[in-house]
Amino acid sequence: MSEPPLHADCAAYALRVCPRLVTGHHTGQVYVAESTEYHLLEERITVRADGSLTTHVSLPGEHPGTDFAPTALQRYLALPNSGWTRADQWLNAQT
């Protein structure tokens, strides 16, 4: 599960009240990245030559190759240009 960019105060609030995030950050499975720069990628559902579906992640506008037929854009992915911090550690540092 990934969340869109948030203000620090909004992220801290979500980590305290959202049941899915609260459960995950107590088990060490939720991470926070603070960044002012990111890499933009596209995630597309593509059809293989044999007709099966697969997910392909690439730079915007990049064609996945001759074994694939381009299909619908599923979502954009913004990958932060920074390190990741466990949510519980990040939350403790906010207070």
Q: For 22-45, give one letter per residue: b (16+ CB within 10 A) or e.
A: eebbeeeebebeeeeeeeebbebe
- pLDDT for 27-85, tens place per residue? 778 888 888 888 888 888 877 788 888 887 877 777 655 555 556 778 888 888 888 89
Domain assignment present for 60: yes
Instruction: Answer whether 69's CB lies under 8 Å from 50's CB.
Output: no
Count of Cβ atoms closer than 10 Å to residue 15 Cβ: 21
Residue 49: Cβ-neighbour burial (10 angstroms; 0-12, 13-18, 19+): exposed
Domain of residue 71 covers 8-94
Predicted local distance difference test score (pLDDT) of residue 93: 92
- pLDDT for 5-17, tens place per residue? 678 898 899 888 9
Element holding 70 (H helix, E strand): none
Predicted local distance difference test score (pLDDT) of residue 71: 67
pTM of the model: 0.57
Domain assignment present for 3: no
Number of structural domains (the chain) is: 1
